[in-house]
């Protein structure tokens, strides 16, 4: 029998991830790979102009940093970095999907051929059990979609989350509202002035400034003026914004090359749809919701990563070495657990101010105590086992015993606790932002978006409802994943 590497694989299975799995009868995983790959390819096709500008600006930034680091620091913005990350993500994920899909297809060929796969490890058994839990798999898919949306938010968002439109027209617009806008003849002005000079550094700097402005405006060069209504009379267009009526000569409007009749007013008018409505400043809720997912999801992941790492180090050291190390570490844990975590967070924020980095550090250093206790209990039960005693008798160092034997065998309850804790961290961050103690406006996060709409919840329900639904779905999915991981890693729960 030929091995999977020797068997001829249909080229279509290499190009389109999931097709091979669908042909092999793996309907669930095949649809996941196929739909995910198709979604990324469609997004790349629809936003190919922004993708090219992002890649070009990244190459220009690398060249500028090599030529003049000072100019690069003056031009560099976080918004540029967001587009670079989105461009890299939108290329890397489809490649990974193709690799994992092909690997899964080859594994399915082995299973169909009856070739013995050998003894499965604990993690392989756990993954097989987890994939049988349909609810947890669906929740994992939703989390993958949410994190993908967070990474590619600059490409998905139709507007910048900070842009305050003509709020006399766009403020408090309900979902699916379509608003007309006059296209002005002058281009959008950049925040950073262009450099004078013809040297290499100046040319690269000006190119990067232009690309940054195009990315910020979503490659829409001309300014827009949103209007409630308009009419053309001769060489003048009369328009209304709220209770104000104004007029502009047609010479100040940009005529679009859209194939309209020469005298048609649609040649200088575009329409924009606010999918989830707008807030009191005319900002697009959909764009702010997408960008807010980056804050909430990243804070939840980073806080759990830091707290789990710190708790594992303290728990392993306390349980393995014992004695005065155990006494000091556990008394510190007892004191911090007894102290109200929310009160401690409020004290730190009131003392040092509030920022995203401070929130991450504060939540991380107030959430590691439970992990430390779990790891300590696991280590106490493991260090008296025969394989640990055998490792000691062979003269292995303490670090080798800890990292090669104790930590891998103590991670099962830690992974379960970490998965369940991400949801609570997202809720904590949203609560702090809702109270005005977390991420500060205009930076969007789900919590402060809800806070902005709380005073007008009855009349303008969409401002707070959609971020609230996002928080609810995210927390529920993480809890379902945690339950599935717990059942998968518990031998008594496996089928």
Per-domain residue ranges of the chain:
1-116, 167-274, 285-489
Mean pLDDT of 317-333: 87
Provide the percentage of residues in the chain whose pLDDT is more than 70.
92
Q: Provide the pairing of β-strand 269-274 with 244-249.
A: unpaired
Q: Which fold has domain 285-489?
A: MetI-like fold (1.10.3720)
pLDDT at res. 6: 44
Tell me how far apart the alpha carbons of residues 431 and 437 are, in angstroms, rounded to a whole number.
9
Q: In this model, does residue 465 exceed pLDDT 90?
A: yes
Provide the percentage of residues in the chain whose pLDDT is more than 90.
26
Q: In this model, does residue 91 exceed pLDDT 90?
A: yes
pLDDT at res. 226: 92
* Confidence band, pLDDT 50/70/90 cuts, at residue 16: confident
Tell me how far apart the alpha carbons of residues 106 and 115 are, in angstroms, rounded to a whole number.
12
Q: How many residues make up the chain in this entry?
A: 495
Q: What angle do CA 113, 119, 122 make, to 5 degrees?
A: 125
Mean pLDDT of 292-301: 88
Q: Is the dihedral of CA 345, 351, 355, 357 positive or negative?
A: negative
For the stretch 214-255, pLDDT in tens is 888 887 878 888 999 888 888 889 999 888 888 988 888 887
Highest mean pLDDT among 155-164, 381-390, 410-419, 431-440: 155-164
3-state secondary structure of 217: coil
Alpha helices in 48-133 (DSSP H): 48-67, 69-75, 78-113, 122-131
* Confidence band, pLDDT 50/70/90 cuts, at residue 142: very high
Q: Which residue has the higher pLDDT, 437 or 47?
A: 47
For the stretch 51-61, pLDDT in tens is 999 999 999 99
- Average pLDDT, rounded, for the chain: 84
For the stretch 345-400, pLDDT in tens is 788 877 887 777 888 888 888 888 888 888 888 888 888 788 888 888 888 788 88
Mean pLDDT of 302-329: 88
Q: In this model, does residue 341 exceed pLDDT 90?
A: no
For the stretch 95-138, pLDDT in tens is 999 999 888 888 888 777 655 555 666 667 777 788 888 898 99
Place of tokens 């540029």: 80
Q: In this model, does residue 478 exceed pLDDT 80?
A: yes
Tell me how far apart the alpha carbons of residues 265 and 262 are, in angstroms, rounded to a whole number.
9
pLDDT at res. 122: 65
Query: 274 has which bridge partners?
Result: 177
For the stretch 35-45, pLDDT in tens is 999 999 999 99
CA–CA distances in Å: residue 151 to residues 270, 285, 298, 328: 29, 18, 10, 42
Q: Which residue has the higher pLDDT, 167 or 88?
A: 88
Where is 223: in which H helix or E strand?
Answer: strand 222-227
Cβ contacts of 17 within 8 Å, gap of 6 or more: 33, 34, 36, 37, 94, 97, 98, 100, 101, 102
pLDDT at res. 119: 62
* Confidence band, pLDDT 50/70/90 cuts, at residue 33: very high
pLDDT at res. 167: 81
Q: In this model, does residue 202 exceed pLDDT 50?
A: yes
Cβ contacts of 410 within 8 Å, gap of 6 or more: 312, 315, 316, 375, 378, 379, 382
Mean pLDDT of 177-201: 81
Tell me how far apart the alpha carbons of residues 386 and 390 are, in angstroms, rounded to a whole number.
6
pLDDT at res. 48: 94
Mean pLDDT of 275-299: 91
């Amino acid at each position: 029998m030929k091995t999977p590497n020797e068997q001829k694989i249909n080229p279509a299975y290499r190009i389109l991830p999931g097709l091979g799995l669908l042909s092999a009868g793996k309907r669930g995983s095949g649809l996941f790979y196929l739909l995910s790959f198709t979604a990324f390819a469609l997004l790349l096709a629809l936003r190919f102009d922004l993708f090219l500008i992002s890649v070009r600006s990244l190459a220009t930034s690398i060249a500028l940093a090599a030529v003049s680091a000072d100019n690069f620091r003056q031009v560099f913005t976080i918004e540029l970095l967001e587009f670079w990350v989105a461009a890299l993500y939108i290329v890397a994920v489809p490649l990974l999907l193709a690799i994992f899909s092909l690997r899964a297809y080859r594994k399915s060929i082995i299973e169909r051929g009856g070739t013995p796969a050998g003894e499965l490890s604990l993690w392989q058994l756990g993954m097989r059990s987890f994939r049988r839990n349909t609810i947890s798999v669906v929740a994992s898919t939703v989390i993958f979609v949410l994190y993908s949306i967070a990474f590619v938010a600059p490409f998905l968002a139709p507007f910048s989350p900070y842009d305050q439109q003509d709020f006399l027209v766009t403020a408090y617009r309900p979902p699916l509202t379509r608003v007309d806008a006059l296209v002005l003849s002058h281009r959008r002005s950049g925040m950073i002035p262009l450099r004078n000079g013809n040297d290499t550094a100046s040319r690269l700097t000006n190119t990067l400034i232009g690309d940054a402005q195009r990315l910020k405006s979503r490659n829409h060069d001309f300014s827009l003026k949103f209007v409630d209504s308009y009419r053309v009379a001769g060489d003048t267009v009369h328009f209304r914004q709220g209770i104000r009526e104004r007029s502009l000569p047609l010479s100040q409007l940009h005529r679009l090359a859209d194939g309209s009749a020469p005298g048609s007013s649609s040649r200088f008018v575009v329409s924009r749809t606010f999918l989830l409505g707008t807030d009191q400043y005319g900002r697009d809720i959909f764009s702010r919701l997408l960008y807010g997912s980056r804050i909430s999801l990243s804070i939840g992941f980073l806080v759990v990563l830091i707290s789990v790492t710190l708790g594992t180090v303290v728990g392993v050291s306390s349980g393995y070495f014992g004695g005065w190390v155990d006494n000091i570490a556990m008394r510190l844990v007892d004191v911090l657990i007894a102290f109200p975590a929310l009160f401690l967070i409020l004290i730190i924020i009131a003392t040092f101010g509030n920022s995203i980095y401070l929130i991450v550090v504060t939540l991380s250093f107030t959430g590691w105590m439970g992990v430390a206790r779990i790891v300590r209990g696991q280590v106490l039960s493991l260090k008296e086992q025969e394989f640990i005693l055998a490792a000691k008798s062979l003269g292995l160092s303490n670090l080798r015993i800890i990292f090669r034997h104790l930590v891998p065998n103590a991670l099962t309850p830690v992974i379960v606790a970490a998965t369940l804790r991400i949801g609570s961290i997202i809720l904590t961050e949203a609560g702090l932002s809702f109270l005005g103690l977390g991420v500060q406006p205009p930076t969007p996060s789900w919590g402060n978006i809800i806070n902005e709409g709380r005073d007008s919840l009855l009349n303008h329900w969409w401002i707070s409802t959609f971020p609230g639904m996002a928080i609810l779905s995210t927390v529920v999915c993480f809890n379902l994943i945690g339950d599935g991981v717990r059942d998968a890693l518990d031998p008594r729960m496996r089928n």
